[in-house]
Structure 1
Amino acid sequence: MDCRLLNEKSRVFHNADPYAVSDYVNQHVGSHCIRLPQSGRPEASLSHRTFGSLDLCRISYGGSVRVTSPALETIYHLQILLQGHCLWRGRGEEHYFTPGELLLINPDDPVDLTYSGDCEKFIVKLPATFLDRACSENHWRRPVDGIRFGARHDLRQLDGFVNLLGLVCEEAESAQPLAQVQEQYARIIATKLLGLLANNVGREELGESCRSFERIAQYIEDNLKQDIGLQQLAEVVRMSPRSLYALFERNAGTTPKHYIRSKKLEKVHACLIDPTAKVRNVTEVALDYGFLHLGRFSESYKSTFGELPSDTLRRRES
């Protein structure tokens, strides 16, 4: 498989204790537990880069390790087999993944994987909010219960996708990474996944309903620092509040209030990860986007992005 998917520049562990590698993965890539073979001493290796809102990881445990997790909750895991094989068990099915195959784990999917001794993987951690945003930007219909992908995919049928990931890794390992470029790449990955992989998103042709939603989405984007009310939005597209709720349900799978709140959170997150943005502290940015109850804001932020806003800002400054 493609050797450009992270190299020695991103090496964090080499021939290390698998439990130390597992602890690192829990902090940066996704919550899980590992079970090692009863005999032998596997030596694990891991490369890792944070890339905007994504985490890129190349990992091998060096032994027949079982990896389990009840669910990933707010993230999707895109896993590409580079070598060896991996037994996946999910929802009454089993499959041995081999090089050239892609496993996509949804946020609410239980994880049950057994690595072969020579198994090596490349993993992309993608926040659910990025896929929701891609749906909105492309005017696709997001299912009310969330976006779901099939688990198994053949990389040969995903035109140019591995090359895209190779470019992302090169950018992640560049000497002068640009936050704006990283976020654009992340958005492209989300859109490519929705466009190439089997999923439950509706992609009907753009109709009058979608055009109305497009106008509202742009209005919200242009006025995110304002207190946007329901009546205000209804006047933008000249419809009743009841019809407005139906419009959001069809095109975003949520309510106007929740949609606006999500967009505000995304803007705060973009500010906190952008090293070129002038940010003195989290409170200032939160208040700027109308989050007056800072405790509730921090809870919503962590639920959406998997970490506290102060942790995001701290990572940017480190």
Structure 2
Amino acid sequence: MRTTTIETIPQHEVTVSTYRAADLGPVNIGEVTMTGELRLECDDIGTGFYVQLPVAGRFESRHRGVDMMVNPLSVALYRPGGGQFHARWGAGYRALCIRIEMTAIDAALARLLGDQMSGRVAFEPVMNTADGYGRSWAELLLSINRQLTAPGGLLAQPLVAAPLADSLVNGFLMAATNALAAPVAAARPAAVRAAVDVIESDPSAPLTLSTLAAHCGVGPRSLQKAFQQHLGMSPMEYVRDVRLRRAHEELRTADPFADSVAAVARRWGFTHLGRFAAAHEAKFGQKPLRTLRG
């Protein structure tokens, strides 16, 4: 958790704002309060998707060639590579600021739609938060933000935080694009869906191909074939991928003075530190020690 005071002087007038932010895996949730008017122009919003969810007030924005008046019922969605960003916030404006890593978006789309389809998903510049998935996602964010401010809460535990982070990413995709409007489950056999649910709910459990197949009511060979056909990997490769993702998320939030890469790797079932480090770097583009040290 960090708090920053930002001061700018537009047109000889001092503007002060406060900003508090916390990471929940690949999702960064901040809360900003403007005590004066602020104008901002930048070439791009940086890496990752960015959303501001107003709690009080509204702000004017221009991004991807679209002019918007952002309010609690209709929020702007900023995506990396979208070009210049212009905005003006008024005094008294307060909002949640959400940034989601692009790697998490890509991984979720590939998992839900398949690698061939994930690159074709279009994101509209405006997200409806008045009702439907958008409203539900906004309410989930507000609830999680309240928990993030509570010291010693459940969100400090990776087994609680990681599934919530996945829910935020998946909920964002449901709210921000029509690609997932139809039930994703229909695209996969019931056995694959059931196995994925078991793995995602508790990836640290002692999972094997036989136990997964027994839980899904099919034979091991049938489950193996279904995973290869619909996900492009075996069930145990999927288990390893989820564990690697959860280990990465824990490294991002761990205290480098109180924890170690080896300890996090062991907690997620990686007993060979060298292979864990190589897999982590291949998937996330950096060595695990660098992730731990921020």
Using structure 1 for the length normalisation, give the TM-score: 0.62
Equivalent residues in 2 for 1:125-204, closer than 5 Å = 125-131=99-105, 143-145=117-119, 148-157=122-131, 158-178=134-154, 179=157, 180-201=159-180, 203-204=182-183
- The answer on 1:12 being equivalent to 2:3 is yes
For the aligned residue pairs, the C-alpha RMSD in angstroms reads 4.4
* 1:1-318 equivalences in 2 (<5 Å): 12-14=3-5, 16-18=6-8, 37=10, 39-53=11-25, 54-59=27-32, 62-70=36-44, 72-73=46-47, 75-81=48-54, 82-90=56-64, 92-118=65-91, 120-131=94-105, 143-145=117-119, 148-157=122-131, 158-178=134-154, 179=157, 180-201=159-180, 203-204=182-183, 206-207=185-186, 209-214=188-193, 217=196, 235-237=221-223, 239=225, 246-248=229-231, 262-272=241-251, 281-283=260-262, 285-286=264-265, 289=270, 292=274, 296-297=278-279, 299-300=281-282, 302-303=284-285, 309-310=288-289, 312-314=291-293
Which SS does the other structure have where 1:49 is aligned? strand
| Shift in CA distance, 245/195, structure 1 to aligned 2, threshold 3 Å | same
Report SS of the residue matched to 1:103. strand
How many residues in Structure 1 have an aligned counterpart in Structure 2?
A: 267
- Provide the rounded CA distance (Å) in 2 between the counterparts of 1:88 and 1:285: 42
Q: Could you tell me which amino acid in structure 1 is paired with residue 3 of structure 2?
A: V
Sequence identity percentage: 14
Q: CA deviation at 1:167?
A: 1.6
Q: In structure 2, what residue type is equivalent to 1:185? A: L
Partner of 1:292, secondary structure, is helix
Task: Give me the whole-angstrom Cα distance separating, in 1, the residues matched to 2:246 and 2:222.
Answer: 22
Shift of 1:183: 3.0
Please state how far the C-alpha of 1:128 moved relative to its aligned partner. Answer: 4.0
**Structure 2 unaligned blocks of 5 or more:** 210-219
The one-letter amino acid paired with 2:221 is E
CA contact under 8 A between 1:72 and 1:109: conserved in structure 2? no
Describe the superposition over 1:28-48 as per-residue Cα deviations: whole angstroms up to 9, x where unpaired.
Answer: xxxxxxxx74x3143232322
Structure 2 Cα separation of the partners of residues 308 and 44 of structure 1: 37
Amino acid at match of 2:88: Y
For structure 1, the residue ranges without an aligned partner over 5 or more in a row are: 1-9, 19-35, 229-233, 250-254
Give the Å deviation of 1:124.
Answer: 1.3
- With normalisation by structure 2, the TM-score equals 0.66
Q: Could you tell me how far 1:261 is from its partner in structure 2?
A: 6.4
User: What is the alpha-carbon distance in structure 1 between the residues aligned to residue 250 and residue 89 of structure 2?
Assistant: 41
SS at match of 1:203: coil
SS at 1:156 equivalent: coil
Report the AA paired with residue 76 of structure 2: L
**Which amino acid in the other structure matches residue 50 of structure 1?**
A
Distance 1:259 1:109 in 2: 32
Change (3 A) 1:121 1:223: closer
* CA apart distance, 1:185: 3.1
Alignment partners' CA distance in 1, 2:222 and 2:197: 11
Point out the structure with the larger helix share. Answer: 2
